[in-house]
Amino acid sequence: MGVYVKSYGLTKLGRSYFKSLYDLVNDALSDMDDTTKPDLIIVSSLFTSTSIGQLDLASKIAEITGYKGVPAIRVETGETSGHNAVLMAFRLLASGQYDNILLVGAEKTTEFLAARMYKEISKVFDSEYEAYMGVGHASLHALAMKEYMRRYGKTHRELAYWPALMHQNALNNPYAALRFPVDQDSVVKANTVSDPITLLDSYPLVDGASTVILTRNPNSALAEIKYAAAATDVMPITHKEDILDLPALRTVYNRIKEESGGDLSIDIFEVTDQFTITPYLIFESIGIADKGSSVDMVNNGLFDRSGQYPTNVTGGLKARGHPFGATGLYQLSEIAGILSGTFPISMEDAKEALILGINGLGSNASGILVGRR
């Protein structure tokens, strides 16, 4: 039984000081322009208990969207919350229990000073061993980046090709937060966040909302979700066998590959590139690149839009922005839009896309295989 993307809606990512979280959700619904009544609502959001002081967010979303009475639940798995909301909906629809599910991803990360928000974000890592000690999102990725550069003899400037590419890809994405070009030297010389990571190695804090309707009805669908999978790994980086390896993501990739008969023909990759180092770890962990070789592959254009592995063609988390609970739904919306020709960025020959997401340095991993209708 197939599962399909019927419609999607997005808000432009940025700082929405004069709009509430609920305003953003209703703006995304208006952008979606679909009056299909869902049988279930699945909400993905991380920080609402802090940013707007609200628990039981799913019931509130059902109320403000006009779907009072419809069952609603909230999914939270850190940075993969949106991806796992899709996974849950995929399994429920494939089982035949529901016909139409509304996915809502929403986040407000600019309600407070950045220092307070970064303290909340640090909780995507182990709260006892890491966050409690003041170790943050950027600093743990900085350790990984430093170790990568040491182990494989790579320079910051070589790695900086990635954020420069993401800014270039975001120029034609009307929903992206950072629509301006940067070069590798600018990335390296930007203000340091956590050495060697600079401001331009990092994702921007943004507010945004995305809504998606998944359905069992293939008529007028934009794209098909062919398969979705998830896996977990240890959370503290001190418990990892290798800080540069993402075994949970490799498990997800292999499951999707097996489900596809042992062969994947991916035209677009969409990965969570929270920091400059992240995509290199992803490519090497799933086997697209040998250990230590992905930097050269990226610099040689293999992951450009016209390359062998087009990746994050809408700008990625680096330039589109990272709305945490809504990130996975932004990725799915953009991919469904590209495959159906309804998104401002077009790739006419693309037939299949793979979305890969990780929380932190791989404690939770998800994958969504999407095909053209």
pLDDT digits (tens, 9 = 90+) for 246-258: 999 999 999 999 9
**Residue 127's CB: how many other CB atoms inside 10 A?**
12
Residues in the chain: 373
The torsion angles phi and psi of 310, rounded to 5 degrees, stand at -55, 125
Q: What local confidence, expressed as pLDDT, does residue 114 receive?
A: 84
3-state secondary structure (DSSP) of residue 348: coil
pLDDT tens-digit readout, 331-363: 999 999 999 999 999 999 999 999 999 999 999
C-alpha R_g of the chain: 19
d(CA 229, CA 331): 16
* Percent of the chain at pLDDT exceeding 70: 100
Residue 127 has pLDDT above 90, yes or no: no
Q: What local confidence, expressed as pLDDT, does residue 96 receive?
A: 96
For the 3-113+205-215 domain, the top CATH level (class) is: alpha beta
Residue 116 has pLDDT above 90, yes or no: no
Q: Containing H/E element for 356?
A: strand 352-359
Token duo for residue 197: 């990571």
3-state secondary structure (DSSP) of residue 363: coil
d(CA 297, CA 318): 19
Q: Containing H/E element for 103?
A: strand 100-107
Q: What local confidence, expressed as pLDDT, does residue 118 receive?
A: 87
State the number of CA atoms in the 13 A half-sphere of 92 facing the CB. 20
Residue 323 has pLDDT above 80, yes or no: yes
3-state secondary structure (DSSP) of residue 120: helix
Q: What local confidence, expressed as pLDDT, does residue 262 receive?
A: 84
* Cβ proximity of 44 and 81 under 8 Å: yes
pLDDT tens-digit readout, 39-86: 999 999 999 988 889 999 999 999 999 999 999 999 999 999 999 999
Mean predicted lDDT score pLDDT of the chain: 96
- Give the DSSP letter string of 184-233: HHHHHHSPEEETTEEGGGBPPP-BEEEEEEEES--TT-SEEEEEEEEEE-
Q: Containing H/E element for 29?
A: helix 21-32
Q: What is the pTM of this model?
A: 0.97
| Domain spans, the chain | 3-113+205-215
Token duo for residue 338: 């590209």
Q: What local confidence, expressed as pLDDT, does residue 287 receive?
A: 97
d(CA 199, CA 186): 10
Residue 279 has pLDDT above 90, yes or no: yes
Residue 1 has pLDDT above 80, yes or no: no
> Average of pLDDT values for 264-293?
97
CA dihedral over 138, 295, 242, 235, signed as positive or negative: positive
- Per-residue exposure over 152-170, b if at least 16 CB sit within 10 Å of its own CB, e if not: bebebebbbbbbbbbbbbb
* Cβ proximity of 67 and 38 under 8 Å: yes
Residue 263 has pLDDT above 90, yes or no: no
Residue 167 has pLDDT above 90, yes or no: yes
